[in-house]
Chains A and B, each alone.
Chain A
Amino acid sequence: AQKVTQAQTEISVVEKEDVTLDCVYETRDTTYYLFWYKQPPSGELVFLIRRNSFDEQNEISGRYSWNFQKSTSSFNFTITASQVVDSAVYFCALRKGYGGATNKLIFGTGTLLAVQP
């Protein structure tokens, strides 16, 4: 069975602090994709990143970075020098296979990040 666990329900940091959001996944598939989405207070989910199971290179995009570790089945997300605009719920998600509607996203329960000024 596939499962995504985001153990951190809520995190509160002060602006400019670094923060890491944890994501642990379970799957028996050898080919799968991992995602992070941001849900700001407006409600719409914003795509942040997709990583496939064959690419363990870490990725950096501005203040965002992702650490994919197959050995521990984790796909953690770090925000460096956090800003108030980073406040949102962040979802980690897992999808097996090569796409198509039958390969559905399995979401974690999300982590609410509150960045205080």
Chain B
Amino acid sequence: SQTIHQWPATLVQPVGSPLSLECTVEGTSNPNLYWYRQAAGRGLQLLFYSVGIGQISSEVPQNLSASRPQDRQFILSSKKLLLSDSGFYLCAWSVGVGPNEKLFFGSGTQLSVL
């Protein structure tokens, strides 16, 4: 069965420090991968998605970047964190196209930038 791992679960970082959040998927190949952010009191916002290794699409301009060095690995990064980067970050994956496609989410990372 497919599983998605996301770490760390919580992270407290000072403003201006770098960030690296990692997400890996097991039990499937060539998944579509996504990074979502949930700011306090707000819905989920799509940040990045990837349809393959090295293929990254950004949804909103921001202080973050994403990379996909391997088929089932998706990394969210920042060179210098801002206070506004605080939030709950969720990695997700989906496979295939058509009516049976569903999004499966990881357990999330709570990032606090102080």
Contact = CB atoms under 8 A, between A and B. Distances in A.
Interface of A: 4, 6, 33, 35, 37, 42-47, 50, 52, 91, 98-102, 104-105, 107-110
B7 interface: no
B contact face: mostly helix, strand, loop, or mixed: strand
Interface string B1-37: 0000000000000000000000000000000111010
B94 interface: yes
B32 A101 contact: yes
A105 B51 contact: no
- Give the interface size bracket for B toward A: 20 to 34
Interface of B: 32-34, 36, 41-46, 49-51, 57, 59, 88, 90, 92, 94, 96-108, 110
A contact face: mostly helix, strand, loop, or mixed: loop
A99 B96 contact: yes
Contacts of A6: 43
A91 B44 contact: yes
Given A98-B99, A99-B101, A104-B59, A110 B32 contact: no
